[in-house]
Amino acid sequence: MNAPQGLKRRDLLQTAALLGSTALIPGAPVWASVPTLALDFRGSLPAGVDFRRASAAGLANGQSWRLLPANTPRFALQGSAVTGLLIEGAASNLIDNASRPDSRGWSRGGAVSLSPSKLLAPDGSASAYRIVRGEPRNGGLCEVAVANSASGDFVSASVWLRSTGGTGKWRLRLLDFNSYNNVNQVVTVTPEWRRYSLTLNLQPRDSGSRHFAVVWNEPFGPVTAAPAIYALKPASPYEPGRTPLTLGEVLMWGAQYETGNEASSFVPTTGAPAFRAADEVTFSAVHLGAPSGRLTIVLPEGGRRGGVILDANGDSGGLRLGYSNSGWIVARIGKLLLTGFSDSSADPVVRLEWSASGVQLFTGQTTESLRLQAAVQASPLPIQIGALARLGMTLEGQQPLGRVLAQLTLSAEVTAVGRVALPNFVPASYRLVFGDDFDDPDLSRINENATGGRPGAPAWRSRYRHERKTVINQEKQIYMDPQFAGSAGQALQVQPFSINKGILQIRAERADPVAVAPFIWNHSYTSGCITSELTYWQTYGYFEMRARLPRGKGFWPAFWLLPKRATWPPEIDILEASGTRPYGIRHGAIEKPRSASTAAGMWIDQLIDSSDGFHIYGLEWTRDNIVFFIDGIKSFEYGPHAIHEDMYLLANLALGSHDPNWIPDPDQSTPFPGLFQIDYIRAYQRGIS
């Protein structure tokens, strides 16, 4: 998936040592000792490996494309060298609504002879169609509606494009026609065939059909005026005797649509509607049940977010190795679960080691330059491995790896279990002045008046500055603590907070309809809020929280700053998130006077999945700029600004809002309890010793 442009503030790892920097040489063995299992996929299927596919697949190498029969493996090429086996998931033909070559959109049938032959489709067939630039008043779009709207967090659409002469800018658009949630991308189309893709993060309100369009964005040749978006006439096939091709026309071929966070599979686009089942690559799992092992897998093009590299009874005490939606390496082995803490999906080498002493995960560019991503000193044994191991996805056929597999080796050699330090993204000139690591489990310090704090365990106020029954943003919760009585006359004993193993949990729950709801003004939900309003505030600085956010309809977690003086605005939102938009984080700042020119904010999409692990959210606030970070990546910057006063910290979990397109209200589908899990909250100032 595409991430916003940003720079790492500093190296992600602080203590995980690099073990070398020797380059991975194509064709050379990568194992240092005699393995108990060695599978090499660079050129053919190794002995003992079984491959199945239910229907045909398309193979693309460079600008050429050809069709492979079912059960024929695909091997990727780099130059003349075979780099490994390409394992893919299911995909279906995008074009379901067009039946005639001259209909609106693209046709899936009716091959047409092209002239000259160099204008054939990438597969050598006469199945390409042209886009003819029209006038804006014509209102036509070269688009297609996807009849079988897929469900899931992401959908992807792709198409092959080439110009008939010159180079120009064209715009791709994929949208939900009901909510108008959409993604756009301007691409440069050249005289060479190239495949372009878009990915759309779906939300519950996206209930319409999906539309995928190619729109002219800029004239071919010299640009004499500002680029403009023009409508297009419907696509038309090339036929002998038709009007000669003109500069500015574009050929299209191979449009498709699939569920997932990136377009992967190539499918046929002629004949009957195409569907290609997921590749199934299996081998005997007997060796993976060993009491100790070092499993090394080489992926020349890296892995895939949300993809599974290997699965051997992973749901039932076996072994599963893959990636979270944020790209963190994840291993489930026996009864243990390990998760990395940085996006390692681009690393070509993955290593899992296990023994009775513990389990550890490494990734890196080579086998000699591995970084320790996760480690636990606990025994995973026994490992209930099952009969078969499957490569590339789970046994259910979901979450395809969509990548090239070069080698898999297993040996009995393991190393001592190491220790993994959390990354440090704090700017060098800053010093810690306030914080809570939640190592002290005393919850009494979270209360109405923020009393009972001590060094290392500050007190927090359990509400905003206004009364608890005051509703803002049409939220549907009341912020509680155990002593809050509402209208009952005695404490309701609702505890939304817990601290366990250094993690604070803010818990959102349905209010008991008899014992609680009548005494909190018939609000349906309870939740929690912590603020440093009565204990700590500062002007400028670096602020950071490490947290895992809840997923589900209605959840609205936030980490933000408000002014010490009783006024609003200003406000700085280090993060806001929606449980229906787990792949997005919103940053923002609101100044006074509030107007379009003084309020700024942005959703940062597809950088992380905020619900799949503990991510680090940072803010550097200086006199001139306000800069936001996610896992050390600069994600948004706002400035100059006019916020120059003491502000305090807040973290809360709201439910519902005034705008269902922003935060929809909870309903029966909401997975209660909602948990906002916080590892730490810290504030730093520059030059403080």
- The HSE-up count of residue 647 (CA atoms within 13 Å, CB side) is 28
CA distances (Å), 157 to each of 34, 125, 257, 385, 605, in order?
Answer: 44, 22, 4, 37, 17
User: Whole-angstrom Cα distance, residue 482 to residue 496?
Assistant: 8
- The HSE-up count of residue 386 (CA atoms within 13 Å, CB side) is 18
User: Whole-angstrom Cα distance, residue 309 to residue 302?
Assistant: 11
Tally of CB atoms within 10 A around 115: 15
Closest CA to 286 of 156, 383, 355, 370: 383
69 burial type by CB count under 10 A (0-12 exposed, 13-18 middle, 19+ buried): exposed
User: Whole-angstrom Cα distance, residue 236 to residue 101?
Assistant: 6
User: Whole-angstrom Cα distance, residue 572 to residue 589?
Assistant: 4
CA distances (Å), 281 to each of 9, 316, 332, 345, in order?
Answer: 40, 20, 20, 21
Q: Which amino acid is at 312?
A: A
Yes or no: say if 365 and 287 are a contact pair by the CB < 8 Å rule: no
Alpha carbon 278 to chain centroid distance? 22
SS3 at position 147: coil
User: Whole-angstrom Cα distance, residue 177 to residue 564?
Assistant: 44
Yes or no: say if 651 and 606 are a contact pair by the CB < 8 Å rule: no
User: Whole-angstrom Cα distance, residue 652 to residue 676?
Assistant: 8
3-state secondary structure 150-204: CCCCEEEEEEEEEECCCCEEEEEEEEECCCCCEEEEEEEECCCCEEEEEEEECCC
User: Whole-angstrom Cα distance, residue 370 to residue 412?
Assistant: 18
Main-chain phi, psi angles of 178, to 5 degrees: -85, -50
**Residues catalogued as catalytic:** 571, 576
Closest CA to 482 of 490, 491, 473, 474: 491
User: Whole-angstrom Cα distance, residue 322 to residue 303?
Assistant: 8
Tokens standing for residue 160: 């092959």
User: Whole-angstrom Cα distance, residue 369 to residue 354?
Assistant: 19
